[in-house]
Amino acid sequence: MITCVIEFGKEKQLMIMKTIKTRLYYEKATAFCREMVFAAGVFLLFITFVMQSYAVEGGSMQPTLESGERLIAEKLSYRFGSIEQGDIVVLYYPADTSKTFVKRVIARPGDVIEIKNGVPQINGSALPEDYVTQSFRSHDFIKPVHIPAGYYFVMGDHRNVSFDSRHFGLVPEKYILGRAVLRFWPLTRINLFS
């Protein structure tokens, strides 16, 4: 009789231990899932509102950026500040917002842009462009265009191959996703953009 009670007690102890282990496993799994959902939420907020990685495709930003390079664009400063002339930006292609381009801001709202023999004239003065090499400069002419509020004129640094505002027109501010701040690939060309 005593033996049966002891064995019954062992079985009950084993069942209790199994139940405790199952409960602990369940609690750990639940905590892990909560942490993963929280981390995913933070990550999504980060790439939606703060920074995101983009790939450069094509040669339109040579020699500043080469095809295949990767950069980080930050999105926060444009929510609180203004888009400046000379900023390298990532933007939606206005005719197809499933595509993104990397271009340089040449003219801002309120500016009058004219291009004479490939040289942008902003409000009557030639824009100094150290980033455009002579062999990459085009020789096109564009009559004066007044940039309305909420729009920007963008161009690539390789003017002979860049598909930009000279072709697709002005870019609405809402299509500018962020400002390029860092080239991180390839490792041999890592640098910050000012």
Rg of the chain, C-alpha, whole Å = 28
CA distance 76 to 5: 70
Which helix (H) or strand (E) element contains residue 88?
A: strand 88-93
Type of residue at 102: V
**Is 60 a known active-site residue?**
yes
Of residues 113, 103, 49, 34, the one with CA closest to residue 80? 49
Looking up tokens 């004219």 gives 114
Q: What is the DSSP letter of 194?
A: -
CA pair distance 142, 117, nearest whole angstrom? 9
Q: Is the alpha carbon torsion for 173, 175, 177, 182 positive or negative?
A: negative
Residue 102: CB atoms within 10 A of its CB come to 24
Place of tokens 């030639």: 126
Question: Which one of the listed residues 75, 103, 162, 165 is annotated catalytic?
Answer: 103
Q: Could you give the residue numbers annotated as active site?
A: 60, 103
